[in-house]
């Protein structure tokens, strides 16, 4: 079929931008499977209705299931990589076929088609509804199967790509309890081997951490493993710094400015993971200063180009101070107080920024007013409190807050998840 890769990109993904290297990848990987498909088959493959129609053709053996499976896998991988929404298997007839085949292949003691099982598991995880419970048997089969793929330490390009796809599929398995025996030793080996040999892509490494983070809500022992054994804070800081250096923030071409690249998307995924981390876990470690510095550096670099990256930086810092995940002096040394002060001084603030900044400083003030039990800790609190207050006084913070009082009612009604205080003294650490 002439021009397959261009047709595939334009017809199957209307409105989606493909870089030249992605087109080359599409040509290399998909031409072999697409050459026997006519335009009508291509055009109608991915709507919900056509999913069901194609399922009927597959069941009648008029359409090759293997071809459909590879198309689904390729599209699911690209959507997950770029954080795009897609149809869920809960909405389409193929769900039953996928589940039946995964169960059948998983039960085979010998002679199962490992390649088929891997493709089925990846497709199932890419297309399932994220908040719908997974059958325990299906989850067990998928996790075991894809961890085996992710443990492959071969250095060739094909193996690295398969590892990335497997980890990306696993990284999307959220909110499900599973025994640590099912995954912990394997995922620790994957993370630690990469720390020594750097064999994973940035996306694969982030996905491995994402899979691990999705497991440890309320699990203090796993939290200790992540922080102390796997050195999450140091690793996250290093990855953020690498990605920050690799992104062309000051791109001059207006058509390319703000466009999502693989590095930008991976950076976005890391920031989302950190946002979850700061919201639910307290990791008060001095190494956090460097991590905070990296987040602030990303915000400054992304401002004016990637608004959603800036929002993630904002949110992670607000949750860090609210949840007491980071000590106030770490926020101070990392430049967070400076950043929020600068933002409040901008003459063209959006109301969301005003609300975020006010919320941040109100939580700073609330934490600084609470006395600690230990004598040494109390002295440190008072010293930090004075340092923060001097910084706020230097920036004219009192005048800024006073000027915003009249719109607090509006902000509270618009951003109703939390409420800003109308009492101006709640915003000052010396109160």
Instruction: Please choose, from the candidates 61, 74, 73, the residue with its C-alpha nearest in 3D space to the C-alpha of residue 98.
Output: 73
Average pLDDT of 341-368?
85
Residue-range domain boundaries for the chain: 343-431
Average pLDDT of 173-188?
83
For the chain, how long is the longest CA-to-CA vector?
78
Q: How many secondary structure helices (H) and strands (E) does the chain include?
A: 22, 0
Asked if the model's pLDDT at residue 227 lies above 60, the reply is yes
What confidence score (pLDDT) does residue 32 get? 45
Looking up tokens 């440890």 gives 216
CA distance 306 to 199: 29
What confidence score (pLDDT) does residue 411 get? 87
Asked if the model's pLDDT at residue 230 lies above 80, the reply is yes
What confidence score (pLDDT) does residue 94 get? 67
pLDDT class for 131, splitting at 50, 70, 90?
low
Alpha carbon of 327 to those of 143, 277, 330, 385: distances in Å? Answer: 36, 15, 5, 12
Average pLDDT of 299-304?
90
Q: Report which of residues 108 and 162 the model is more confident about.
A: 162
What confidence score (pLDDT) does residue 75 get? 75
Q: Which residues contact 60 (CB under 8 A, 6 or more apart)?
A: none
pLDDT tens digits, 33-66: 444 444 444 444 444 455 555 555 555 455 566 7
User: CA torsion sign, 341 to 343 to 346 to 350?
Assistant: negative
Q: Report which of residues 18 and 234 the model is more confident about.
A: 234
Asked if the model's pLDDT at residue 310 lies above 80, the reply is yes
What confidence score (pLDDT) does residue 35 get? 47
Average pLDDT of 279-300?
86
Count other C-beta atoms under 10 Å from residue 306's C-beta: 22
Average pLDDT of 352-381?
84
What confidence score (pLDDT) does residue 74 get? 79
Count other C-beta atoms under 10 Å from residue 150's C-beta: 26
What confidence score (pLDDT) does residue 346 get? 80
Average pLDDT of 364-392?
83
What confidence score (pLDDT) does residue 38 get? 47
Helix, strand or coil for residue 112?
coil
Instruction: Please choose, from the candidates 159, 309, 277, the residue with its C-alpha nearest in 3D space to the C-alpha of residue 212.
Output: 277
Asked if the model's pLDDT at residue 135 lies above 80, the reply is no
Residues in the chain: 431
Mean pLDDT, all residues of the chain: 78
Q: Report which of residues 284 and 122 the model is more confident about.
A: 122
DSSP 346: -
Looking up tokens 């990256």 gives 309
Percent of the chain scored above 70 by pLDDT?
74
Asked if the model's pLDDT at residue 235 lies above 90, the reply is yes
Range from 99-113, 210-224, 247-261, 294-308 carrying the lowest mean pLDDT:
247-261
What confidence score (pLDDT) does residue 384 get? 87
pLDDT tens digits, 140-164: 889 999 999 999 999 899 999 999 9
End-to-end CA separation in angstroms for the chain: 74
pLDDT tens digits, 74-91: 778 887 887 776 556 555
DSSP 226: I
Rg (CA), the chain: 25
Asked if the model's pLDDT at residue 175 lies above 70, the reply is no
Asked if the model's pLDDT at residue 193 lies above 90, the reply is yes
What confidence score (pLDDT) does residue 41 get? 47
Instruction: Please choose, from the candidates 321, 349, 246, 336, the residue with its C-alpha nearest in 3D space to the C-alpha of residue 289.
Output: 336
Instruction: Please choose, from the candidates 278, 312, 251, the residue with its C-alpha nearest in 3D space to the C-alpha of residue 83.
Output: 312
Asked if the model's pLDDT at residue 167 lies above 90, the reply is yes
What confidence score (pLDDT) does residue 294 get? 96
Alpha carbon of 167 to those of 171, 186, 303, 310: distances in Å? Answer: 6, 12, 30, 26
- Whether residue 6 contacts residue 23, with contact meaning beta carbons closer than 8 Å, is answered with yes
38, with CB counted inside 10 A (0-12, 13-18, 19+), is exposed
List the Cα angle 251/256/259 in 5-degree steps. Answer: 105
């Amino acid at each position: 079929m002439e021009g397959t890769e261009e047709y595939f990109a334009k017809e199957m993904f209307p409105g989606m931008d493909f870089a030249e290297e992605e087109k080359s990848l599409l040509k290399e990987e998909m031409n072999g499977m697409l050459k026997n498909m006519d335009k009508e088959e291509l055009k109608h493959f991915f709507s919900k209705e056509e999913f069901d129609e194609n399922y009927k053709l597959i069941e009648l053996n008029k359409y090759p299931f293997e071809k459909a499976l590879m198309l689904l896998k390729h599209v699911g991988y690209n959507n997950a990589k770029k954080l795009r929404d897609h149809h869920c298997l809960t909405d389409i007839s193929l769900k039953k076929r996928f589940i039946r085949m995964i169960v059948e292949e998983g039960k085979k003691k010998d002679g199962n088609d490992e390649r088929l099982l891997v493709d089925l598991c990846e497709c199932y995880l890419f297309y399932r509804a994220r908040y719908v419970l997974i059958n325990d048997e299906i989850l067990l089969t998928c996790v075991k199967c894809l961890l085996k793929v992710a443990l492959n330490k071969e250095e060739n390009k094909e193996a690295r790509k398969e590892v990335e796809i497997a980890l990306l599929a696993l990284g999307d398995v959220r909110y499900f309890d599973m025994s640590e025996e099912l995954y912990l030793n394997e995922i620790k080996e994957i993370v630690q081997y990469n720390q020594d040999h750097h064999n994973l892509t940035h996306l694969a490494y982030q996905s491995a951490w994402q899979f691990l983070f999705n497991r440890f809500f309320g699990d203090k022992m796993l939290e200790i493993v992540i922080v102390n054994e796997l050195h999450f804070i140091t690793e996250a800081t290093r990855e953020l710094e690498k990605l920050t250096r690799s992104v062309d923030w000051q791109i001059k071409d207006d058509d390319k400015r703000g466009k999502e690249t693989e590095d930008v998307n991976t950076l976005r995924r890391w920031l989302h993971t950190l946002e979850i981390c700061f919201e639910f876990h307290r990791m008060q470690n001095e190494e956090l200063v460097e991590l905070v510095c990296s987040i602030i550096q990303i915000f400054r670099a992304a401002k004016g180009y990637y608004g959603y990256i800036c929002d993630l930086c904002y949110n992670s810092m607000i949750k860090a101070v609210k949840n007491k995940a980071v000590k106030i002096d770490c926020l101070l040394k990392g430049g967070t107080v400076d950043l929020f002060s600068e933002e409040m001084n901008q003459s063209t603030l959006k109301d969301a920024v005003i609300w975020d900044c006010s919320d941040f400083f109100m939580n700073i003030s609330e934490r600084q007013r609470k006395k600690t039990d230990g004598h040494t800790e109390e002295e440190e609190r008072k010293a930090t409190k004075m340092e923060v207050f001097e910084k706020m006084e230097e920036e004219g913070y009192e005048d800024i807050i006073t000027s915003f009082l009249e719109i607090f009612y509006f902000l509270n009604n618009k951003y109703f998840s939390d409420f800003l205080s109308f009492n101006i003294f709640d915003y000052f650490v010396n109160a």
